[in-house]
Amino acid sequence: MAVEDEEKKHRGPAYNRKSMSLFRSRLVVEGDERLVQKSYWIKHCADLTVEAMMLDSKAADLDKEERPEVLSMLPDHEGKSVLELGAGIGRFTGELAKKAGQLVALDFIDSAIRKMLRDAGFNEVIAEDQTDQFMKVLTRELDAVEKEKEAFISDFSQQDYDDIVNGWKAKLVRSSSGEQRWGLFIAKKN
């Protein structure tokens, strides 16, 4: 048993089947549905207000009540690295940043990210398209996973392997076609 545990340590992070199932259940929506969602949010977040993002004319009042409640449900993140997916206009970003050691906030609407940064007091914002770099890294990682297919499947399952490989290949297709972009945003306060 100890030898097997030692071997698994050298194969990479120790994920279990439960965490892989959770990961699979949170994969980004694929295909046409993703395009529909992105088009909808681009059209409806032109204002970049909490009302537009929450689709509620009384969202500011709801946000005052809801935000502390949602934040109270999060695990302790003081001093830790936090990834905020779907950050939108940053309803939670400022509060997360107060405690997190490092915070990465992502959204597929770049104007929302720019607004979030401006609202947080950043006035010098640099945005770079990193899609080519992302595709190189993802291709390299895909090759590595495919070379270690049998070891991966023995640690997890064929379904886990297929989900990850197919998901990564779909991202490469979307990125190649221009449907999905990857950006680096650097913001400074003067």
Strand residue runs (E) in 74-175:
81-85, 102-106, 124-129
Q: Rounded CA gap, 163 and 30, in Å?
A: 12
Instruction: State the CATH architecture for 45-121.
Output: 3-Layer(aba) Sandwich (3.40)
pLDDT one-digit tens code per residue, 121-178: 777 777 788 889 889 999 999 999 999 999 989 988 999 899 999 989 988 998 898 8
Q: Which residue has the tokens 């970049």?
A: 48
pLDDT one-digit tens code per residue, 18-70: 444 444 444 444 456 666 766 776 676 666 777 766 767 787 888 888 889 98
Q: Rounded CA gap, 78 and 87, in Å?
A: 19
0.85 cut: is pTM over it?
no
CB 152 within 8 A of CB 122: no
CATH 3.40.50.150 domain locations along the chain: 45-121
CB 88 within 8 A of CB 112: yes
64: its two tokens: 């005052």
Query: What number is the average pLDDT over the span 180-186?
Result: 78
